[in-house]
Each structure stands twice: as C-alpha cells, then as structure tokens.
Structure 1
Amino acid sequence: MSISGLNTLKKGQHYTAKELDSFISTTDAVLLSNNENQLFTDPEREYKVTHELDGFFEHSEEDAEKHFREKKAYVVEKA
C-alpha cells in the first residue's frame, strides 16, 4: 500500500510502520501509539488506526494554560 501524497489516515485501516513513518514525515499530524517508543523499530509491523481526532489539549509552559490545538491526531495500535 502506498500512501505517497496521502494527507489523512482512515480509521479501521491497517498501515505498516514504514507507511506511518512516511505519512508523519510529510503531514502535520500527531501519532499516538500503544507501542511506546517502538513504533518505527520494525518497518513491517502493522498498526490499526483506532481513533481519529481533530485536535487535542496541550499544556503550555509559556503561560501555564491549557490550549486546544487544531491538529489531526491518530491513535494506532499494533495489529
């Protein structure tokens, strides 16, 4: 599966770590994984997109406030 030029992932679809790496390298998005920091260690491991979010809250160190960031975020789990 090639995702060259793809600007979104689809909930319920499976992607290899290699495909996710390519996607996140070219897209302004966030990937959240249940695989801790090992998401990209095995390029052929498959992940399923379980959630797609339009944004998230983030704490700012600058003003000590919480701000909503309008940025796509995807939750992926090992398939």
Structure 2
Amino acid sequence: MTQYRLSDVEVGKNYTAKELDSFVSTTDVVLVSNNENQLFNEPDREYKVVHSYAGFFEHSSDNGEKYYREKNVYVVEKV
C-alpha cells in the first residue's frame, strides 16, 4: 500500500483507506476512526479527516502517570 506515499493529510479532505494506510505506514502519526478496527477492511472506502491535534495524553499502566505525547493525531470518519 505504500505506492500512494502520502506524507500529509488535510482536515476537510477525503482519502481512501488505502491512501490512509500508506500515510500511517510512512509517517509517525495516530489515526482515530469512528468505525473502530474496521478502517483498513475496505481499501476503497473513503474517509474524511475531521480533526487534527499536535499530541495527546497517555496514561501509563506501569506507574500511573499521565504523559503528553507530541505526535500528530488525525480523526477520520466514514464518508
């Protein structure tokens, strides 16, 4: 799927699942989808990027602390 080689996505634009697959395969990002673990099941299904964030908080089960991770996060929804 890396043949699409997306290095960036834009809020408000639509992308196919195979394009998003390429994006996460070549970029250090987090994708959050409204259809849970079904994001890559249908390669030609389209998704709209609805939000982006520069990072997120994560809870460590090891020590109970919360850490802010500076990693781009994109929220996508089925079109």
Superposed pair shares fold, TM > 0.5: yes
> What TM-score, normalized to structure 1?
0.91
Distance 2:17 2:24 in 1: 10
Runs of 4+ in 1 over 3 A off after TM superposition: none
Distance 1:36 1:70 in 2: 23
Aligned residue identity for 1:22? S
User: What count of residue pairs does the alignment treat as equivalent?
Assistant: 77
**RMSD over aligned Cα atoms:** 1.2
Identity of aligned residues (%): 62
Distance 1:29 1:53 in 2: 10
Structure 2 counterpart of 1:64: 64
Q: Which ranges of structure 1 fall in alignment gaps of 5 or more residues?
A: none
Q: What secondary structure, in the 3-state scheme, does the structure 2 residue paired with 1:24 have?
A: helix
Q: Which ranges of structure 2 fall in alignment gaps of 5 or more residues?
A: none
